[in-house]
Structures are given as C-alpha cells and as structure tokens.
Structure 1
C-alpha cells in the first residue's frame, strides 16, 4: 500500500474532515483517509494513488492543499 500526506489549509472542524474524506474516498485506489484537523494534515492510503486526482478532490471539497510531503 502507498501512503501520501498533504498539508491542507482551512480545516477547522469535524465537518471539514468529513467533506474532505467524502471527496478523497471517491478517488480510484483510495482505501484509507485519515485527517488531523489540528495539524492540517490529510493522510491517504491505497494502491496506485494519483497525486493530481487526490489534490483535485481536496480542492473540490473547498480547501487548499500544498505539495505532498513524504509519509
């Protein structure tokens, strides 16, 4: 399994995390989404993860994502 971590700005509550989880979970290959709202991090696990699609899903949820950092 591959794991990616993103720094996301604008998250402030569980509702924010739920919206991101919903969008990111729809990306092909995603099997796990773990969000730390306080740290502003989104961890995504799965197989053959497409960075462009993952970033687009976070943006679609209404948040800004920085470059992925190693997980």
Structure 2
C-alpha cells in the first residue's frame, strides 16, 4: 500500500525553498519520496510518499525546520488505487471514439 500525505505549505517562493523543504522531509523516517508544486507567495502543495501512514508531528517539524509553515494536512491511504479510481472517468472519456455516419 502507498500513502500520500499532502501538506499545504505557506511561505515558499523559489527553488531554494523547494530544496530546503524537500531535504528536511526526506530526512523523516519512512519517507520514500517528496514532490513539491510551488505556488510562489501562496500555499504550495507538498506530497510526501510513504509505504504506511506517517505521524503528522515529524512532518510539521521538518517543514518548520526548513523555515516554513504547514497550513493543512491531508492523508490518502492506498493512494495509488484512490488516484486511479478518480482518474478512471477521465481516461474513459478520452478513449471514446466518435461515431461516423456515412
């Protein structure tokens, strides 16, 4: 099972900010990967990938250590299956073939 923990992080403005947050979060035990969707000066989305759900406190502490604040936390357990199910209708619609009348 894969878990994605989504962190809404405020205060990030540049690539250095992304690097600092990424490095701190990768130092948290059981974190497998980190990706950041930077929204300079706004709330950025940070995805933390792990095998099992992680405790929230170490993630908040890591972001705080990097110099930023966590505004919100969302945990998606079995994330691959959940994201696949959510994307299924869109994939289905794009594979529909038009009906050609002769």
Q: Is TM (by shorter chain) over 0.5?
A: yes
- Structure 1 segments of 4 or more deviating over 4 A? none
- Return 8-17 or 45-54, whichever deviates more: 45-54
TM-score (structure 1 length as normaliser): 0.90
Unaligned runs of 5+ in 1: none
Paired residues for 1:13-52 under 5 Å: 13-38=14-39, 40-48=44-52, 49-52=54-57
TM-score (structure 2 length as normaliser): 0.64
Q: Aligned pairs, how many?
A: 71
Unaligned runs of 5+ in 2: 77-102
Larger Rg: 2
Alpha-carbon RMSD: 1.3
Q: Decide whether the 8 Å contact of 2:3 with 2:75 is kept in 1.
A: no
Higher relative contact order (CA 8 A, sep 6+): 1
